[in-house]
Amino acid sequence: MVGAVLTVVLGASGCSSDGGRPLADGSTATPTTAVAVVPTPSASPTIAVPSYTPPDCPSGSPAPGGPVNGHDLRALLPICQYQNRPADWTPELTSLEDGGPASAPAAAELPGKDCSFLVDAKGFNLSTDFRTAWARESDDAPSDSVFHPVVDDFIAAYQPGDAKKLLGDIRDFADRCSSFDVYSGRQTTMTVTADPLSGLGDEAIDLKCTPGPDAIVQRMESIIIRVGDRVLFVTGDNHRGGMPKLQDLATLEVRGLSG
């Protein structure tokens, strides 16, 4: 309690003027001194809020067009473009990676894929056709955020004209697999749509893979935006019971590609 007086017995060796009281064995006892200690009110605790430091982000963004490697593409990811986030989004990064040096364009794989591929297709899988470089982050939001479910952000680079061909392959895939059956504990019918989105990049698709009622498999959605020869994939699902607001996120995140 503030203002209380506490008596403490302290050793005062070397501070006595009489040298101490002699004992029977000839030694000298150290005198004791009563000291009144008045505790001061405790100050309110201060909570330090750490500043945000992007993890292993390149110092500058790669110029539009031209060859680019995976590490360069990291500069365009939301974790390195922190200003392109909703105000209430403080992401908890769970993964940050890239494909390293640029490679020759990959072969087109989507035309031959089975429809079940779409059940859990994120940017890494959807972007494979013609891809030369990529970077990816996966992150979470606080549990009290409306964006709480995990979001996968993926950026891929292509040679001139190939990114446009990729989006054509994705549309064709969605048309071919507009309805298909899967079995995961019980059979359900998946419905796939690839609706155009206006006002995002050069072209954009809202790809959805939606299960039937009472299905065990999750709903998947990916906002796919092409800006020149680069493509942004913002993907999420409802395995936590709610869908993230992917279009809201993508609208902000595409600014990193647009400059």
Tens of pLDDT, residue by residue over 101-147, are 999 999 999 999 999 999 888 899 999 999 999 999 876 655 544 44
What is the C-alpha separation between 47 and 175, in angstroms, rounded?
Answer: 54
Q: Residue 103's pLDDT is what? A: 94
What is the C-alpha separation between 30 and 183, in angstroms, rounded?
Answer: 86
**Cβ proximity of 214 and 208 under 8 Å:** no
* Per-residue pLDDT band at 216 (split at 50, 70, 90): low
Range with the poorest average pLDDT among 48-57, 60-69, 163-172, 173-182: 48-57
Alpha-carbon dihedral angle through residues 150, 134, 162, 119, given to the nearest 10 degrees: -30
> DSSP alpha helices (H): ranges in 120-200?
123-126, 162-176
**Cβ proximity of 145 and 226 under 8 Å:** no
Torsion sign over Cα 10, 13, 16, 20 = positive
Q: How many residues does the chain have?
A: 259
Residue type, 17: S
pLDDT tens per residue, range 187-208? 889 999 999 999 999 999 999 9
C-alpha angle 161/163/168, rounded to 5°?
Answer: 100
Do β-strands 179-183 and 21-22 pair in parallel, antiparallel, or remain unpaired? unpaired
Helix (H) or strand (E) holding 255: helix 255-258
Is the pLDDT at 175 greater than 80? The verdict is yes
Taking residues 33-58, report their average pLDDT.
Answer: 45
Q: Residue 31's pLDDT is what? A: 46
- Determine how many CB atoms are found less than 10 A away from the CB of residue 84: 18
**Cβ proximity of 4 and 39 under 8 Å:** yes
Six-digit token pair at 169? 């392959």
The DSSP secondary-structure symbol of 83 reads: T
Q: Residue 38's pLDDT is what? A: 42
The DSSP secondary-structure symbol of 8 reads: E
* Per-residue pLDDT band at 99 (split at 50, 70, 90): very high
Q: What's the mean pLDDT when you consider all of the chain?
A: 75
Q: How far is CA 68 from CA 62, 64, 75, 102, in A?
A: 7, 9, 11, 6
Q: What are phi and psi of 226, to 5 degrees?
A: -100, 130
What is the C-alpha separation between 253 and 135, in angstroms, rounded?
Answer: 14
Six-digit token pair at 244? 């993230």
C-alpha angle 154/88/246, rounded to 5°?
Answer: 35
Residue type, 9: V
Q: Whole-structure pTM over 0.85, yes or no?
A: no
What is the C-alpha separation between 249 and 31, in angstroms, rounded?
Answer: 73
Domains and CATH numbers, the chain: 70-258 (3.40.1000)
**Cβ proximity of 234 and 253 under 8 Å:** yes
